[in-house]
Amino acid sequence: MVCTVEVRGAPRTFLFPLGFVDGGSWLVAAPVAPAVAQLVGEVVTSAGFELFSLAGGGTRTRPLLEVRIDRPDGTKVTVDDCAAVSRAIEARLDGSGLVADTYRLEVSSPGMERPLRHAGDWNRFAGRRAAVTSGALVGSRVEGTLVGAESVDGRDVGIIRDDKGTDHRVALAEVKAAQLVVTWNRDS
């Protein structure tokens, strides 16, 4: 789900060099000014959500700010949640001098096939279907059921069970990509 709102602000762009906010706990996927990232993070947090990712894009004349939010308690993010957060971000950005005259703001959830970013995600979504890519895995990719994550010698290790019942363990630091997978039931 995506809520898109076109808004007007002060005459500066929000596109700046890539950076991470708060020691990397917020994923910044494309160039966004640190001041914009800070402001968006504060708004999202004060609204009771977690900033899942923040990215800038679009064109020079029509920049785009993409915000992905999640709920800390794991419940689903609704369209109304996205709309409320979008309005709150818009209210703070307008007149801040941090954004271009015209920009697009998109607020959405991480989606059904969301990335798994850390051990907490592996444990939160244990029992769900996922795909994991890593050079440390036989064949580089395993699709199956998430078992969870554990700490081994101070390193987070993810466990995924393939369709034959074999558990595959991989250090999360060696994972190139991991995400939930939705399997559609064609019989229903």
Distance of CA 75 to the CA centre of its chain: 15
pLDDT given for residue 49 in this prediction: 96
**Which residues, other chains included, contact 23 with Cβ-Cβ below 8 Å and sequence gap of 6+?**
none
> What is the DSSP secondary structure assignment for residue 126, as one 8-state letter?
T
pTM: 0.72
pLDDT value for 138? 81
Res 26: pLDDT? 35
Q: What is the pLDDT of residue 10?
A: 32
Nearest to 81 by CA among 93, 92, 94, 68: 68
| Structural domains of the chain, ranges and CATH numbers in brackets | 2-108 (3.30.300.70), 119-180 (2.30.30.100)
Which residue intervals of the chain are DSSP H helices? 34-46, 79-93, 119-124
Residues lower than pLDDT 70 in the chain = 1-31, 186-188
pLDDT of amino acid 185: 76
Q: From CA 158, how far away is CA 152, in angstroms rounded?
A: 10
Q: Single out the residue of 16, 59, 52 nearest to residue 36, CA to CA.
A: 16
